[in-house]
Amino acid sequence: MFKNTRLSAVLAAVLFSVTAATALVSAPAFADAPAAAAASAPAAAPAADAAAAAPEASAPAAHTEKEEVENPFGFEAVWNGGFVSRGTLIILSLMSMGSWYIIVTKLIDQMKIFKQSKETSAKFWKAPSIAAGSAALKEGSPFRFIAESGTKATVHHDGALLEQIDLSTWVTMSIQRAVDKVQSRLQDGLSFLATVGSTAPFIGLFGTVWGIYNALINIGMTGNASIDKVAGPVGEALIMTAFGLFVAVPAVLGYNWLVRRNKSAMEDVRSFSADVHSVLISGAMSTSEAGRAAGAKKIG
């Protein structure tokens, strides 16, 4: 029914996930460079030497520079934090790539349906028959699939059991089944987005709790509770929560956006199916009445 190239969606999913993961890498810290000249000035220097050293000491103080210091509590430290932290990061990364893959592929499907809807309005209804109109549409078009399903239903209505169903009901059932298949195809993957949006923050929170637990255990074992020993590991553990939000927010927004676009697409599909149903039923009834009339003339 739909023919899509998935390679572009895979590349887009990997690109978005890598970008989100890169944003979590801690920025390098900065520290003030000490004023070496001022610190080296002796306190008990003569007055003449102090007056001469004053301009030299004030210059570095006025232009304090920031030197880059490597942050030991970054994304790499989280990755090396053990199998639990590493497994949590892998799960969140897979969920992020899967979410972006579904968002991109569903968006491509919806764009194709909107384009095919315009083509159907321009080509299909100008054809002399339903079969000719179906042939004018592209292969894989959901509108062509619905039209062909309705046409087959009017032709293949035989069998001991199927003959008990009137033609109008049989055509209605066939077209409705085709519409349901199109809707099911559009909704593929949306449940995954809903699952990611609801569970990713808790998976990230689990990683944070586990990281803080290990940090507190290490602090208790070493007995050193200074601010540098507490803030670093705790901040490192909070990266997990941030990563969980990076995964969950696009999934939730993408799910709501795709659902809203699906409703618009299905409105076009249902309107087309209703029109096709009316044309098929009126044509079938006219053919049936003409056949009965011809049979009555022969009998007379």
All residues at 6 or more sequence positions from 104 whose CB lies less than 8 Å from its CB, including other chains: 8, 9, 12, 13
Amino acid of residue 79 = W
Q: Check if the beta carbon of residue 290 is closer than 8 Å to that of residue 138.
A: no
Cα(209)–Cα(35) distance, integer angstroms:
41
Helices and strands, number each (H, E), in the chain: 10, 2
The pLDDT value given to residue 20: 52
* CA-to-CA separations, 291 to 160, 205, 228, 248, 294, in angstroms, rounded: 21, 72, 93, 62, 5
Q: Give me the mean pLDDT over the 248-254 stretch.
A: 94
Residue 294's pLDDT band (boundaries 50, 70, 90)?
Answer: very low
Q: Which residues pair with 69 in a beta bridge?
A: 29
- CA angle, 16 as apex, 113 and 196 as ends, to 5°? 75
Average pLDDT over the chain, rounded to whole? 73
Closest CA to 62 of 94, 35, 99: 35
Cα(101)–Cα(99) distance, integer angstroms:
5
Is the pLDDT at 78 greater than 70, yes or no?
Answer: no
SS3 94: helix
Amino acid of residue 82 = G
Q: Most confidently modeled of 87-91, 153-157, 192-196?
A: 192-196
Residue 55's pLDDT band (boundaries 50, 70, 90)?
Answer: very low
The pLDDT value given to residue 50: 45
Pairing of strands 66-69, 29-32: antiparallel
pLDDT digits (tens, 9 = 90+) for 110-153: 999 999 988 888 888 888 888 888 888 888 889 999 998 888 88
Domain spans of the chain, in order of start: 72-282
Closest CA to 205 of 52, 76, 91, 47: 91
Is the pLDDT at 206 greater than 60, yes or no?
Answer: yes
Sign of CA pseudo-dihedral 185, 191, 192, 194: positive
- CA angle, 94 as apex, 91 and 99 as ends, to 5°? 125
Q: Which residues pair with 31 in a beta bridge?
A: 67
Closest CA to 127 of 242, 257, 241, 275: 275
Would you give the end-to-end CA distance of the chain in angstroms? 49
| Least confident window among 43-57, 235-249, 274-288 | 43-57
The pLDDT value given to residue 298: 45
pTM of this structure: 0.67
More confident residue, 154 or 13: 154
Cα(174)–Cα(150) distance, integer angstroms:
6
Q: Give me the mean pLDDT over the 215-225 stretch.
A: 76
More confident residue, 41 or 226: 226
Closest CA to 247 of 24, 9, 7, 11: 24
> Torsions phi, psi of 68, nearest 5?
-80, 130
